[in-house]
Copies of this chain bind each other. A is one copy, B any other.
């Protein structure tokens, strides 16, 4: 087995690892990036990116269906599944290729194969094209998470899909049951609904999108209802019956069982960290009770030469969190004083309408010792939203009554995923409600709603009556 030596080695080429490798190389480190499947990880290959390509098409189909109200004459659209899949694959190919180009351009050596620690300063990489012992004074582990299975609904790629199959769009089922009303379940469920499936969502908890402002969730739920997606909350998925007429998902709600006939099941109940097969235990890396690797503020594990970032280092399981951590770990290895010090970690959910949030909710603010003041502004009163015919939703901001400090924002509505960026910057800058309220916002644009919500929190909304 050949031995290769680097200044730093990154294992896993998802948004945590591939970014870390680029940053290490930028900072002058001779870097290797080890990947056993495809560059880009979950995010580029079957997560963030392809799901959003499908969602954008579902959005367009939706707009086309409603186009007649705005004076556009056209047939009801239909889906060419092969072509849509080809488009999605093209998007993935472009971005995965881009990552390869970036690694190469920055001088990162990509090693294809599965990495496994044999010592704190050495891994073995086994790939189809070779096997190497790879030594370095510093490693970053970024091997991500895997989808959770539930008993009775084992993924078979045929009847029972994981997000991975669902994102690949094998077909548009007549009736799809989605187990799990979290982010991935609702993003994909509502996509299939718009592409033409009848969709039923089964959620164990009493609310969809747990953790998100219930008022925002209601806006999404109203939309699901309008497109006749059936939603069962506080519902337990008990088992799957395979009859000769098709499938039936047995669920239990309020102690009563019922069967939902369907032709496909998507299980999207979450992801869990994936440290298996890495040999981390053997070299002494501490793993927490939930399976996440324990790290300090520089993303260093209990073994000083080994860092860990991304889904494997703990929640939230988000691509931009992984990338940010990858940058910090890379900079720490390169001797910079970078640490985890962010104030704002935004989250975006690509349902219809989109939901995004950052910072503290009203309740979190209260718990943190603030006296929260809330300002809200509905898109129904916003010129731009009315002009583009997307008026469902609102911007809600939370501030501290005494100081006027901005503490957080929740946005549900058109382009919420983009609009949250301004709120995140405001939090990082230590902005007051007044700072956003006094900043001129171009007219007519959607971010005016954030400005108005801040004004509302101050009792000075212009385009809404202040009570």
Chain A residues packing against B (C-beta within 8 Å): 15, 19, 22-23, 26, 43-44, 48-50, 52-53, 56-57, 60-61, 63-64, 67-87, 91, 94-95, 98, 102, 105-106, 318-321, 323-324, 327, 342, 344-348, 356, 381, 383-384, 386-389, 415, 417-422, 424-426, 428-429, 431, 435-436, 438-448, 450, 460, 462-466
Q: A318-B443, A320-B441 are in contact. List 13 more A-B contacts (CB 8 A).
A: A26-B466, A44-B383, A50-B387, A52-B388, A60-B64, A69-B83, A73-B80, A75-B75, A91-B387, A95-B383, A417-B442, A425-B429, A425-B435
User: How many chain copies?
Assistant: 2
Among candidates B26, B72, B356, B446, residue contacting A60 with C-beta atoms closer than 8 Å: B72
- List chain B residues, Cβ under 8 A from A43: 443
- List chain B residues, Cβ under 8 A from A348: 442, 445
Is A53 in contact with B387, judged by CB distance below 8 angstroms? yes
- List chain B residues, Cβ under 8 A from A319: 443-444
Is B56 in contact with A61, judged by CB distance below 8 angstroms? no
A57 to chain B, nearest CB (A): 5
- Which partner residue on chain B sits nearest A58 by CB separation? B72
A–B pairs, 30, beta carbons within 8 Å: A48-B443, A49-B387, A49-B444, A52-B383, A52-B387, A53-B388, A56-B388, A57-B71, A61-B72, A64-B74, A67-B77, A68-B80, A68-B83, A69-B87, A70-B83, A87-B389, A105-B465, A320-B443, A320-B448, A323-B443, A324-B440, A344-B439, A415-B415, A418-B418, A418-B446, A424-B442, A425-B431, A428-B438, A428-B439, A429-B435
- Which partner residue on chain B sits nearest A424 by CB separation? B439
- List chain B residues, Cβ under 8 A from A77: 67, 72-74
A389 to chain B, nearest CB (A): 7
Is A48 in contact with B383, judged by CB distance below 8 angstroms? yes
Give bound CA distance, A83 to B74, whole Å. 13
- Which partner residue on chain B sits nearest A388 by CB separation? B56
- List chain B residues, Cβ under 8 A from A464: 102
A74 and B72 contact, Cβ closer than 8 Å, known pairs A63-B60, A383-B44, A439-B425:
no
